[in-house]
Structure 1
Amino acid sequence: MARSRAQLPIEVEGSATQPLGMPAADFLRDYWQKKPLLIRNAFPGFVSPIEPEDLAGLACEDTALSRLIQHDRGRDAWKVRHGPFREEEFPGLGDRDWTLLVQDVDKWDADIAALLPKFDFLPRWRIDDVMVSFAATGGSVGAHVDQYDVFLLQAQGHRRWQIDAGDAPPLHFRKDVEIKLLQRFNPTHDWILAPGDMLYLPPGVPHHGIAEDPCLTYSVGMRAPAAVELLGDFVDALAAETDDGPRYVDPDLAPAKDAHEIDGAAMQRVAAALDALRTDDPERLGDWFGRFITLYRSAGQAMPGDDARSRIEIEWDLQQGHVLHRHPWTRMAWRRAGRGARLYAAGQAHALPVRDARAIAAAPTLDGAAYAQLSDSGRDAVYDLLQGGHYHLVEPEDDPQ
């Protein structure tokens, strides 16, 4: 007999073969966007590939997105600063009540990016980034709520997590701080996570994490564009593709009863004019979304390089053991279109055979053998992307793989 959601466990044991503590299909059916879940030993024996010093160094980079949040417990006051920071700032922060957060660490560190295939039960284009936070003892960002799914993997040290899994938690925000903290927080569950433990939170679940000791936490966050963002971008795309031809027209106009009134018939004509922008074409809609989602919330972008070598030279290098590495900021996805497919890369679209689109989207690197397996159109697309800076060619001795 199927159990109700209230009867489902909120804490399970994971393993190396089942990081979710259950088959992915069961997790998606019972927990995804429905119910929080704590997975003990989701990553047994986990050892963080980066140290707090590495994170601090990254927060000093001009192009990294970083924040420093400090809490004055005596006054319950919060201070937020944005990077880049200077190295000499960190020793003066003390050993309590501060947190350093850095976004998109998976774009900077290949070992962090190597965690993402563990989440391949989700569409990769749904995954936004891996944010890494270091918290000194007592460090926190306060009780808050997110509007997207997140997996919180404990990487070093111990963090206490409290959540409110009630049916109607209070969601009013404090007005005396510059970050969106909850006025009231009534936890229903209280856990301490050790390295390898992972907490999944659906959107809208209030939560509060406090460092029990100096700790690192990885946040694998999802991409959840608001409906207004989707609508705004879609309308902009339609408007850019539509000429000035369709206009408001009223060939059925009758003598006005009141020259100053906007009557019901006028509003029907307005709706008809707007319908000219609306599309029921699934290909047009799919093409827009593929471009949109591979650009959405990207903090960086690839730029064309200075390599002016010809295609024949590039292909010769691949035959000699060079490898094409995808730029870490270049997001890719694909979809079926007609009898073929469309590959989307950082807002660009390429018409390809399904086999090519699937292979290119899934491969962070392409060696000579993988490149040779592509069709002519697939190789054309890869070369175009290389010219745009979305790949760079790595010599065999420099290839980390």
Structure 2
Amino acid sequence: MNTAQALALLGGMSPNQFMKRHWQKKPLLVRQAMPGFVPCVGRSDLMALAGQEGVESRLIVDSPKGWQMKHGPFSKRGLPPLSQKKWTFLVQGVDLHHDGVHALMQQFRFVPDARLDDVMISYATDGGGVGPHFDSYDVFLLQAHGQRRWRTGRQKDLSLQPNVPLKILQNFEAEEEFVLNPGDMLYLPPKYAHDGVAVGECMTWSIGFRAPSQSELARELLLGLADEAFERAGDALYRDPKQAAVSASAAIPPSLVGFARQVIDRALDSPLLLESLLGAYLTEPKAQVWFEASDAEADLSKGVQLDRRTKMLYDEKHIFINGESFRVAGRDAVSLRLLADDRSISAQKIKSLSPDAQDALRDWASEGWLRAA
């Protein structure tokens, strides 16, 4: 992607300008970010997705009895009638299930793939919404059908309404108000409060970003470190032939502490362990994602492209794909990085790969991670 090129998507700014001026700093309203936008997923398509096992969906109703929320899957009969006002249903990760939605998400790859998460689509009847709230991540809100009125504001008081199944702000104060039409888009940085209400029937596409917490990373990386420590640990038993007699028998001997520390030190001495664990974690498929394996030998003669569900990243020493880590160097590294960036690779580039790298492509194809271009 040419990050210096002005884009209608960003209101005439280049990705460089947008990231410098707005990313994680301040909102941006773009009228006709996608001029003449016609959604490739309609209401009936979304309802069909919401009825599938393995697709994350929610139904939210603003009723006289208060807010109500249910988790899918939903049958068509399980949804309120379209004539009923103030209800919405949301389907998460639609890009995993639809090529057109996945293609649209590629327009936002001026942000690193390690941060790009998914596309959520919400359908709402007149007055429908999820209440005033804030997200802990960046989001682009693209109006796909109908109109939605947004009220936004910097919110100092982040206290939430009690006894409500949604995280709704208790004292929301709006600073600005916009009505978005199809093709309009609103960017909001993390924790910027917003309340979107459908004006008639509407659909909104939310392009969301991943923001792992330190505690989340600590848990996952330490689990990987534990596996590494176990693999590197020997079967040697603790020995203390120089242990003296003690009068304080409950005190732990310093030599035993040192013996235990050796196990951790051996794991930490493993070169590039942190990078390997982080890349594998960032490309781990979501729980509801699965691939169909094939016994047929992959045809690499016309090039290959990544399956829309495949996550592929890289660093200076590794290629990461769907939770697995591979050390690469030289021409293989250059070509496989191109596959990760472009999500496809030509037959000519494949021919330049080493036999081991070509075998890796065939293995990935047999796992369903990529397919013929």
Taking the TM superposition and a 5 Å limit, the aligned residue runs for 1:2-401 are 17=8, 19-72=10-63, 74-75=64-65, 77-90=66-79, 92=81, 94-166=83-155, 169-243=156-230, 244=233, 276=265, 279=268, 283-295=272-284, 297-305=286-294, 308-310=295-297, 314-315=298-299, 318-319=300-301, 324-337=304-317, 342-352=318-328, 353-365=332-344, 368-369=347-348, 371-393=350-372
The change in CA–CA distance for 1:183 and 1:274 in structure 2 (over 3 A counts) is: farther
Which range is displaced more, 203-212 or 357-366? 357-366
Q: Give the residue type in structure 2 aligned to 1:133.
A: S
Return the offset for 1:251: 11
Which whole-Å CA distance do the structure 2 matches of 1:98 and 1:18 have between them? 29
Which whole-Å CA distance do the structure 2 matches of 1:217 and 1:140 have between them? 11
Which whole-Å CA distance do the structure 2 matches of 1:91 and 1:178 have between them? 18
The corresponding residue for 1:398 is: none
Q: Which runs of 5 or more residues in structure 1 are unaligned?
A: 1-14, 395-401
Q: Give the residue type in structure 1 aligned to 2:283.
A: T
Which range is displaced more, 250-259 or 376-385? 250-259
Mapped contact 1:58–1:64 kept (Cα < 8 A): yes
Which range is displaced more, 384-393 or 222-231? 384-393
Mapped contact 2:46–2:91 kept (Cα < 8 A): yes
Return the offset for 1:261: 8.3
Return the offset for 1:55: 0.6
Mapped contact 1:174–1:180 kept (Cα < 8 A): yes
Return the offset for 1:260: 7.0
Which whole-Å CA distance do the structure 1 matches of 2:157 and 2:174 have between them? 11
Which range is displaced more, 351-360 or 133-142? 351-360
SS at match of 1:218: strand
Q: Give the residue type in structure 1 aligned to 2:367.
A: G
Mapped contact 1:302–1:327 kept (Cα < 8 A): no
Instruction: Tell me the alpha carbon deviations over residues 258-293 of structure 1, each in whole angstroms, 9 at most, x when there is no partner.
Output: 87789xx99x97996796377376722111111000
SS at match of 2:280: helix
SS at match of 1:185: coil
Percentage identity across paired residues of the two chains:
34
Instruction: Tell me the alpha carbon deviations over residues 157-200 of structure 1, each in whole angstroms, 9 at most, x when there is no partner.
Output: 1111111225xx21111221112111110111111111111111
SS at match of 1:231: helix
Return the offset for 1:237: 0.4
Return the offset for 1:87: 2.0
The change in CA–CA distance for 1:206 and 1:274 in structure 2 (over 3 A counts) is: farther
Mapped contact 1:129–1:221 kept (Cα < 8 A): yes
Which range is displaced more, 292-301 or 98-107? 292-301
Mapped contact 2:102–2:308 kept (Cα < 8 A): no
Return the offset for 1:88: 2.6
Mapped contact 2:143–2:181 kept (Cα < 8 A): yes
Which whole-Å CA distance do the structure 2 matches of 1:127 and 1:225 have between them? 12
Which whole-Å CA distance do the structure 1 matches of 2:122 and 2:69 have between them? 14
Return the offset for 1:219: 0.5
SS at match of 1:32: coil
SS at match of 1:242: helix
The change in CA–CA distance for 1:144 and 1:18 in structure 2 (over 3 A counts) is: closer
The change in CA–CA distance for 1:28 and 1:363 in structure 2 (over 3 A counts) is: closer
Which whole-Å CA distance do the structure 1 matches of 2:226 and 2:16 have between them? 40
Mapped contact 2:238–2:259 kept (Cα < 8 A): yes
The change in CA–CA distance for 1:384 and 1:197 in structure 2 (over 3 A counts) is: same
The corresponding residue for 1:9 is: none
The change in CA–CA distance for 1:260 and 1:109 in structure 2 (over 3 A counts) is: same
The number of aligned residues is: 362
Superposition TM-score, scaled by structure 1 size: 0.79
The corresponding residue for 1:12 is: none
The change in CA–CA distance for 1:274 and 1:377 in structure 2 (over 3 A counts) is: closer
Structural RMSD (CA):
3.2
